[in-house]
Chain A
Amino acid sequence: MSVTNTPEKTEAMVLSVSTSPHIKTAVTIPNIMWNVNLALAPAAIFAVIWFGLPALLNLVAGIVAAVASEYIAAKIMKKKVTIADGSAFITGLLLAMCLPPDLPFYMTAFGAVLAIVVAKLSMGGLGYNIFNPAHIGRAALMVSWPALMTKWTEMTTAADVVTSATPLGINKLQGYDALIQTFGSKGELYQALLLGTRNGSIGETSTILLVLGGVYLIIRGIIKWQVPVFMIGTVGILTWAFGGSGGLFSGDPIFHMMSGGLIIGAFFMATDMVTIPITTKGQIIFAVGCGAITTLIRLVGGYPEGVCYSILLMNALTPLIDRVTKPKIYGMGGTSHV
């Protein structure tokens, strides 16, 4: 070969020759994860104001335990430490937000360790986990300490009723009329659900702040609007149809849509990209499934609330949904030509 390489210029220069594309979007995984944390912040801050010190203690315990266990596990397994990507932070934060405010903080920490070590790292780490880690942590605590996990803060409602039950709990055990009496009127109930001035898990109460964070994620393109809309919509329609005592379509969908963990679940957990279907079509199926299972548990199951289990059950179906919702490939049985 008679090639003579240009001497001076190329010698001084080391050119990188990786394959195309040579440019990439600025959006990275840490960027996505920290945006999710940011979106959760308003509801978490409200929780500290509303429930006070116990909520703060649990939020800190969840986050610290999740991040620390990921760090230690990475060190033990001699793997790259990935705590800076923000995903362990989300797991700890979300888990704490789904727990009762007065839960002893070490239980929250225990749940966070389980979420990270069992549900995430034992599966292979971020990207490989099948189930939402925060929900696995919550489910584990639920079966381990069922009494403590359903013991709620004692508080006085706008109608001066002292209660230590969640709105869904009152509805389940005492009926819808008792629920309205507890809050004084439908309007008072709706207001408490919208603002978050009601009983429940640490971060699930304020519908308005959770929706605010969710809308931020939708605008940033981090989650798709279809998931929360279809999940909450399904619960709304089914509880309206079957949730009332006066026959079909006598239920109160507004109450059901804003209660329990539905808002936080629909915007922040049913949208956990790792554990949900990859196509928009698949995500809609997933969301409708979550909504249907949630309603089933609330209306006929033993628990007052079913968001956590509905998402975990649908997580298990994700690979199957992915298989049947592959996009249509260009040129495969498409348009014809004369």
Chain B
Amino acid sequence: MLKTFRGGVHPHAFKSLTAELPTEIMPPPKRVVLPVSQHIGAPGIPVVKVGDMVKKGQVIARSDVHLTSWVHASISGRVADIAEYPSSYKDKSLAIVIENDGEDEWQPGLLCHRDYESLTVPQIHEIISSAGLVGLGGANFPTHFKLMYGPDKHIDTLLINGSECEPYLNADYRVMLEETERVVLGTKIAMKSLNVRRCIVGIEDNKPKAIEAMKKAFSGTEVQIVPVPTKYPQGAERMLIKVLTGREIPEGKRHSDIGVVGLNVGSVAALADAVEHGVPLIERVITVSGDAIAQPKNLRVRIGTSVQDLIDYCGGYSRTPEKIVNGGPMMGYALSNLNIPVVKGVAGILVLSKAAVAHGEGAPCVRCGRCVDACPIGLVPSMLSILSERGRHEEARTEYGLLNCIECGSCAYICPARRPIVQNIRYSKTMNAGHGHH
């Protein structure tokens, strides 16, 4: 028996739309929009001006704050604009627009060859601090920050997240299959950077090929590959930590407080590029899928490519789209504007028809308890939702653990009354602003 966590749901996976499609390299777009804030922490400050010519990999926004992530040009060309643009990470962000000069030329000094084993830990830290790495699983947390905890944090375990529990998405799966060696290398670098010897890779058991590939690639190392049950939200940090280490993050604390650092498989692959080749994060693998896209694909795309460009590259629509989702169907959000850029933390763009998305008016709760059984955190979502509707937000926080909700959506997914539970909970959270720990 595989270890599991409380609750969870089993939505139809729809992975087969793109699971066996090798990653295609999408040609660089004519124009990229690069928000200076694609991460948790301080926004970068632009270090280029409108009219400047930039090279691929060049730093275009940076900050001296530790909790930040630098932004690099993902194509070579001319800086066309620096202004507020809509973004999928925040509603709006200052962004640097680059028009492609068609050269796709690297910034001099990048594409080096380094052996991480010959680097000291401080050297590794210096490299990763400026490489623009963030959690590619959607957390957007700066990777270098996680890899530079001091000894006071007693980090003893590194977890590599290959669960990819959101339906439709295969970006991590393709990385595990196609870039296995980079994942191995990045994992070793992360272990060295954190000075830990214990590392566990968790992969959902619906990906046997990835489990096998990773087992083979990691053979002879201390790294354990652990199949985890296919159950949403397995990939949520709290759930994965619980399943792989048995530890729980106490209320109001972070992973680092219980000695664990978790990284997504794509994030460690990017880490390997940064350390061994000096290549900053300027591209990522993304799944474009859904029942209304003409050609579902896994694509390697430049950061800053617009969603519209992605859809055009995948042949446009096969039927009328009802919703275009940035991310997975459980936690991603619906786009109203397709002219927004793909930022670092976006693992998928889903183009869904009316038939594929949920509709419903939200009848009164019949107390069936399915949300209670599905909540991985152990909350009573039905009650939180009702309290929110009645304006009893404080009671929701003090009596029903409102702020512990991770908004995974399991409750609203399973609700037979189609109640907007997550929406109500989010509203209560905003009404409790100032008390939060998330």
Contacts and interface: CB of A to CB of B under 8 A. Distances in A.
B416 A331 contact: no
B86 A20 contact: no
Contact of B364 (A3, A23, A27, A128): A128
Contacts of A276: 367
B416 A28 contact: yes
A230 to B, nearest CB: 16
B17 interface: no
Nearest to A24: B358
A48 to B, nearest CB: 29
A190 B368 CA distance: 34
Interface residues of A, number: 51
Given A3-B85, A23-B11, A332-B401, A278 B367 contact: yes
Interface string A188-201: 00000000000000
A22 interface: yes
A240 B287 CA distance: 63
Contact of B404 (A10, A273, A331, A337): A331
Interface in A7-39: 9-10, 13, 15-25, 27-29, 31-32
Given A24-B415, A273-B367, A338-B154, A327 B380 contact: yes
Interface residues of B, number: 80
Given A20-B330, A23-B329, A337-B247, A328 B378 contact: yes
Interface string B225-259: 00000000000001000100011111101000111
Contact of B322 (A2, A9, A16, A125): A16
A329 B412 contact: no
Interface in A96-148: 124-128
Interface string A249-277: 00000000000000000000000011010
Contacts of B176: none
Contacts of B253: 331
Nearest to A278: B369
Contacts of A174: none
Interface in B109-131: none
Given A24-B418, A32-B368, A326-B380, A17 B308 contact: no
B12 to A, nearest CB: 8
Contacts of A1: 83-85
Interface string B246-285: 1111110100011100000000000000000000000000
A6 interface: yes
Contacts of A330: 6, 238, 242, 248-249, 376-378, 404
B373 interface: yes
Given A126-B366, A329-B404, A335 B422 contact: no
A37 to B, nearest CB: 15
B400 interface: yes
A337 B258 contact: yes
Contacts, number: 194
B335 A329 contact: no
A5 interface: yes
A127 B358 CA distance: 22
Nearest to B85: A3
A126 B364 contact: yes
Interface in A186-226: none
A156 interface: no
A326 B358 CA distance: 29
A181 interface: no
A185 interface: no
A283 B404 CA distance: 24
A283 to B, nearest CB: 8
A124 B365 CA distance: 12
Nearest to B323: A16
Contacts of B373: 280
Contacts of A331: 238, 248-251, 253, 377, 404
B17 to A, nearest CB: 14
B370 to A, nearest CB: 8
Interface of B: 6, 9, 11-12, 81, 83-86, 154, 167, 238, 242, 246-251, 253, 257-259, 308, 320-325, 329-339, 350, 352, 356-358, 360, 363-369, 372-373, 375-380, 382-383, 400-401, 404, 407, 409, 412-418, 420, 422-423, 426
Given A10-B339, A21-B358, A329-B404, 5 more contacts: A2-B81, A17-B333, A24-B360, A25-B11, A337-B247
5 smallest beta-carbon distances between A and B, as pairs: A24-B358, A21-B409, A127-B364, A334-B248, A327-B378
29 contacts: A2-B85, A4-B339, A10-B338, A13-B320, A15-B321, A18-B334, A20-B407, A20-B409, A21-B329, A22-B332, A22-B350, A22-B358, A28-B416, A29-B366, A85-B363, A124-B364, A125-B364, A126-B366, A274-B367, A278-B380, A279-B369, A279-B372, A327-B378, A328-B378, A331-B250, A331-B253, A332-B251, A333-B250, A337-B258
Interface of A: 1-6, 9-10, 13, 15-25, 27-29, 31-32, 85, 124-128, 273-274, 276, 278-280, 283, 322, 326-335, 337-338
